[in-house]
């Protein structure tokens, strides 16, 4: 499929490379996929003298800045860019079910952070360490949420009502009082508790 894009003037030298990578991707990609693909770029090579944590932060920032720039720049082009840590997709707008789906995929808080170059230049090693700690806590929480949804046989997009319905159905099937598997019962209950916390019920 032929895709045409117009990218306006910008200050991030990776924007065209990130766009090319997304255009040629057959499926959704992760931040790590993009960073790995661009490791040989002159922009990334110029960071080599920095401490490891700062290199990781700046690589991530440059890629995220490019992604959020493109997300805004492509509005009205017929294509939409959805961004999350593990799933980045460039698709025709027609493939999204409705207008609200397009609005929901834009995270204004993250977008504002990564489009502000002061955050790139003024974030030091101590701030980077705290950001990395916050990231891993969030990542682990997300990982637990996905595992809990899998236990209940649900997709990542499941809402709280679907969680409750799946829990009630599964728990009735394996309740020990009805001759069910006690270990499976405990596993389902733990998954439910994790999801209750994630949904802040």
**Cβ atoms within 10 Å of 101's Cβ, excluding its own:** 13
| Numbers of helices and strands, H then E, in the chain | 10, 2
Band of residue 67 on the pLDDT scale cut at 50, 70, 90:
very high
What's residue 179's pLDDT? 75
Q: How many whole angstroms separate alpha carbon 80 and alpha carbon 31?
A: 17
Band of residue 1 on the pLDDT scale cut at 50, 70, 90:
very low
Percent of the chain with pLDDT over 70: 83
Burial of 5 (0-12, 13-18, 19+ CB in 10 A): middle
User: Which of 12-21, 67-76, 146-155 has the largest mean confidence?
Assistant: 12-21
Q: How many whole angstroms separate alpha carbon 134 and alpha carbon 33?
A: 21
Question: Pick the residue with more confidence: 158 or 131?
Answer: 158
What's residue 194's pLDDT? 84
What's residue 22's pLDDT? 94
Q: Which domains does the chain have, with CATH numbers?
A: 15-123 (1.10.10), 144-198 (1.10.287.110)
What's residue 17's pLDDT? 95
List the structure tokens of 77. 């082009």
What's residue 95's pLDDT? 60
């Amino acid at each position: 499929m032929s895709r045409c894009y117009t990218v306006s003037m910008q200050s991030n030298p990776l924007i065209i490379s990130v766009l090319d990578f997304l255009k040629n991707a057959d499926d959704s990609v992760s931040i790590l996929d993009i960073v790995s693909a661009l490791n040989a770029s002159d922009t990334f090579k110029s960071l080599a003298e920095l401490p490891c944590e700062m290199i990781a932060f700046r690589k991530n920032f440059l890629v995220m800045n490019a992604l959020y720039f493109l997300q805004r720049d492509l509005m009205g082009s017929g294509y939409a860019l959805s961004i999350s840590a593990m799933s980045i997709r460039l698709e025709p707008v027609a493939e999204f079910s409705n207008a609200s789906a397009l609005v929901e995929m834009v995270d204004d808080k993250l977008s504002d952070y990564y489009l502000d170059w002061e955050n790139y230049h003024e974030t030091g090693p101590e701030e980077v360490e705290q950001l990395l700690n916050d990231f891993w806590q969030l990542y682990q929480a997300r990982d637990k949420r996905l595992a809990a949804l899998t236990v209940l046989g649900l997709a990542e997009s499941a809402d709280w009502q679907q969680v409750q319905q799946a829990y009630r159905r599964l728990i009735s099937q394996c309740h020990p009082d009805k001759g069910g598997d006690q270990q499976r019962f405990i596993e389902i209950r733990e998954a439910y508790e994790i999801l209750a916390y994630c949904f802040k019920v």
